DNA sequence: TATCAAAAGTGGTCTGACCACTTTTTAGCA
DNA sequence: TGCTAAAAAGTGGTCAGACCACTTTTGATA
């Protein structure tokens, strides 16, 4: 039947078997995987084949390996994926702009989804951000965006966003300035009230003013 | 200085060296890379290490390997990345919906960008699609969307889209039906004229009617 | 009990070997 | 000469074993 698809790529089968093993053993994020030698024995393949599969998963950021320590299911989201991709595909200065724009695509869509969904836009978390801005005068930019992406409910979009946000580094992980306070409050309040266009306008303003280019 | 970052991951250095080699040799997409044995000799590392790096790049879809044939720089975009990611992260039926929604996020943004940019929205390619619909009555859905994404100019977004489109498989790679003709013409014409909202509305209609769920 | 050295465990890498498959070369035939 | 088929070379796929560097565990000693 689909032999043509299934036949090849034994190395990909190992990846799949690894996943199955992880589910069976109920290995949680951050926990240790069996050693390469044990895996090679249990899966009935050579250690080098196991390593090829593990290296691939490592490059994707799905596992972490510690020399002499073992292999662990990734807990933190420090994916090298974007870095590697950009190393190969995006080379010039435009790359960074592309990463930023792509990240913002997902953020804008999340804001749209939340604004249009009553259950999502009336969550208490938005009010907590709003109040925090009122009292403390600042919030962590990355935290706000992450919450927005998470709430939107698209887990693949979330995955992509994490990778792009990791690429942008600390430029995103900062406290909002005094100038951004009003903009952020406008964005949050508009989102809560379901004013999609107003929320997006505030977002655009935020992204335009908050960073220097 | 940054020894801590640079010190480890010899395996990642190989990935970088591979890229350098590709640039030096000016290897184009679809062309052949040196054999594993040659690479191992030229890079001064063991063949197994070279293979670990190559397998990772293969999983990312950056290279293709043919048993007995050789290793080639990827030409077609048949990336297994999303598949592998979803295999690990997205497990239920919602996954497919997430992939589709995420793909549409990038398509909608591309339509926005094109509609708002005179140089892009007045390209002759849109008229060619319009005319083709008029005369032949149908166009390839994937071709239209790909052209839209490419034109938008965000190469990272393009890369992601290709992966997502590959995941959706042949459901996207089909000719438009009679019912879609008017919708597509509306979308294209609105985009050409810079009517962003009208173009998006047509797009939403297209995506809503064109597929069965 | 506390300390620290030895042992065991683990990932990192290299080498060599063999297999399966593809491409190239060569030898033989028409 | 020209074509075909067999042989050879090239290449990826996989495995086994060895050694190193590093971490964790163990156990003996003070």
SS3 state of residue B147: helix
Chain B, residues 111-150, CB within 8 A of chain A, namely none
Q: Which run of H or E residues covers position A65?
A: strand A63-66
Query: Burial, B117: exposed, middle or buried (Cβ in 10 Å; 0-12, 13-18, 19+)?
Result: middle
Which residues 6+ apart lie within 8 Å of A173 measured at CB?
A140, A141, A142
Q: How many domains does chain A have?
A: 2
Please report which residue ranges of chain B form alpha helices under DSSP H: 3-7, 10-24, 36-42, 47-60, 81-88, 94-115, 118-121, 124-136, 141-152, 155-168, 178-193, 196-209
Pseudo-torsion of CA A35, A41, A47, A52, nearest 10°?
-80
Q: Which residues pair with A70 in a beta bridge?
A: A66
**CA A70 → C1' C2, Å?**
28
> Quick one: A55 and A152 in the same domain?
no
The pLDDT score that the predictor gives to residue A17 is 86
> Quick one: B64 and B103 in the same domain?
no
Instruction: Note whether residue A121 is domain-resident.
Output: yes
Cβ-based contacts of A102 with chain B (< 8 Å)? 154, 156-157, 160
Q: What is the CATH number of the domain that holds A59?
A: 1.10.10.10
> Quick one: B39 and B117 in the same domain?
no
C-alpha A80/C-alpha A97 separation (Å) is 18
pLDDT value at A91 more than 60: no
Range of the structural domain that residue A52 is part of: 3-73
Q: Which of A17, A41, A73 is a domain's end point?
A: A73
Instruction: Note whether residue B78 is domain-resident.
Output: no
Measure B179 CA to nearest chain A CA, in Å.
28
**CA B68 → C1' C30, Å?**
32
User: Which has the closest alpha carbon to A196: A129, A125, A118?
Assistant: A118
Cβ-based contacts of B82 with chain A (< 8 Å)? 156
* Residues B164-182 pLDDT 10s: 776 666 678 889 998 899 9
Residue in this structure with the two tokens 């992260």, named with its chain if needed: B89
Q: What is the CATH number of the domain that holds A128?
A: 1.20.120
Which residues 6+ apart lie within 8 Å of B42 measured at CB?
B21, B34
Q: How confident is the model at residue B32 (pLDDT cuts 50, 70, 90)?
A: very high
Chain B, residues 47-106, CB within 8 A of chain A, namely 48, 51-53, 55-60, 62, 67, 80-82, 84-90, 94-95, 98-99, 101-102, 105-106
Cβ-based contacts of A71 with chain B (< 8 Å)? none
HSE at residue B57, side-chain half, CA atoms within 13 A, is: 28
pLDDT value at A96 more than 60: yes
Q: Report residues 127-186 of B contacting strand C, contact meaning Cβ closer than 7 Å.
A: none
Q: How confident is the model at residue A212 (pLDDT cuts 50, 70, 90)?
A: very low
pLDDT value at A95 more than 90: no
> Quick one: A102 and A64 in the same domain?
no
Strand D at less than 7 A from CB of B175: no
Instruction: Note whether residue B157 is domain-resident.
Output: yes
Instruction: Note whether residue A69 is domain-resident.
Output: yes
pLDDT-wise least confident of A37-46, A71-80, A85-94, B199-208: A85-94
Strand C at less than 7 A from CB of B45: yes
> Quick one: A123 and A66 in the same domain?
no
User: Which has the closest alpha carbon to A11: B34, B88, B31, B51?
Assistant: B51
Q: Which of B42, B73, B104 is a domain's end point?
A: B73
């Amino acid at each position: 039947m689909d032999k043509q698809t299934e036949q090849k790529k034994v190395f990909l089968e190992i990846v799949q078997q690894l996943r199955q093993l992880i589910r069976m053993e109920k290995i949680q994020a951050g926990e240790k995987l069996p050693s390469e030698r044990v895996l090679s024995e249990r899966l009935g393949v050579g250690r080098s084949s196991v390593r090829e599969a593990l290296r691939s998963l490592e490059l994707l950021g799905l596992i972490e390996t510690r020399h002499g320590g073992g292999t662990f299911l990734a807990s933190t989201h420090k994916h090298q994926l974007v870095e590697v991709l950009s190393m190969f595909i995006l080379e010039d200065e435009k790359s960074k702009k592309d990463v930023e724009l792509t990240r913002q695509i997902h953020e804008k869509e999340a804001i749209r989804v939340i604004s249009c969904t009553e259950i999502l836009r009336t969550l208490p978390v938005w009010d907590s951000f709003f109040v925090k801005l009122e009292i403390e005068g600042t919030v962590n930019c990355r935290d706000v965006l992450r919450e927005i992406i998470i709430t939107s409910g698209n887990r693949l979009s979330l995955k992509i966003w994490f990778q792009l946000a990791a690429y942008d580094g600390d430029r995103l992980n900062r406290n909002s300035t005094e100038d951004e306070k009003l903009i952020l409050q406008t964005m949050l309040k508009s989102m809560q009230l379901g004013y999609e266009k107003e929320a997006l306008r505030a977002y655009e303003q935020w992204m335009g003013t908050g960073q220097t280019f």
